[in-house]
Amino acid sequence: MGIRLAIIGATGAVGAAFLEVLEERTGRAGALEIDSLRLLASGRSAGKRLSFRGEKIAVEDLAKADLAGIDIALFSAGGAISRSWAPRFVAAGAVVVDNSSAFRMDPEVPLVVPEINAAAASDRPKGVIANPNCSTIILLVPLFPLHREARVLSARVATYQAVSGAGARALEELESQTRDLLEGRAVSPQILPHRIGFNLFSHNSAVGADGYNEEETKMRKESAKILSDESIRISATCVRVPVHRAHCEAISIETERALSPERAREILAAAPGVKVVDDPAKNHFPMPYEASGQDLVLVGRIRRDTAAAPGAHGLSLFVSGDQLRKGAATNAVQIAEFVARERRATTTAGAGAR
């Protein structure tokens, strides 16, 4: 039994990644069987035709769309659109997988990374499942298997976040500033708050009274919800860097039980969603250009944390993940696949009872 799928925000960067991921996963075990696909966006994009599986599909105006007959809706059109439209899709019978921050901390909305807590997606009283922030996903996919082995007590994280995470116009600004600076011309930031060409700066989100910006706070709060453990202490410093695509994170953890670098490497090599890239002899470790375009989180620089307190168990690592794919589109598609499997199982069980 196939799924009637809709993508809201189909013409954006994550919308394009949705189509890319869905097409790549066609035919794989557990992939969505799509009976119909509808693409929705703002009125200014209506009529634009996007390619999917060799066909051209016209984009519909969300404001005028008939919401009936949709099984799963993938949202990536911003928090305001999600807050306004997700309840309408649910009322029309769809399960919503939302990529914005609108519902992440709602206690009645599961926040899901399928490698960690897929079963949480079954309990969705509001009909909505939230996709975590990209930096949170890239942190937790490799952290969770280590947590399961040795229980993580704390994590200190420094992120190096690609410009495409701020949108297509920010990426264009990076490229134009780089050209201008190489040719000796002055630059004036228009999209990002500071010069990004040959520069980096603290993540461009609002800073709270505690000194942490929104991105850093999201990582702490979302991690606690996903792991169902408020006791884990997480401190993040998030930085925007002049890289096209894929975020990196330097992570130092303290664990309750001893965990050697060798054992950590074994665990990570067997963990779902992770690829170990850790070759000291060749100085080859995770890099954003190698993480770009794939769904695995690359992990390397696995070593003891020499700053850990005496008697404490400390470990450091460096990771890189594509924030448009595993950090957004792929994670949401994996959630949708879980929902579709659950739906098939329920339908099959019902048919068997009859």
What contacts 327, CB < 8 A, 6 or more positions away? 133, 134, 135, 137, 138, 247, 321
Exposed/middle/buried for residue 242 (C-beta within 10 Å: 0-12, 13-18, 19+): middle
Q: How far is CA 80 from the centre of its chain?
A: 19
247 annotated active-site: yes
CA distance 19 to 218: 27
Cβ atoms within 10 A of the Cβ of 322, count?
Answer: 28
The catalytically annotated residue of 238, 247, 248, 313 is 247
The one-letter amino acid code at 301 reads R
Handedness of CA 216, 222, 225, 226 (dihedral sign): negative
The catalytically annotated residue of 134, 147, 203, 238 is 134
- HSE on the CB side for 79, CA within 13 Å? 7
CA distance 336 to 95: 9
Chain length of the chain: 354
Backbone angles phi, psi at 126, to 5 degrees: -95, 0
Annotated catalytic residues are: 134, 247
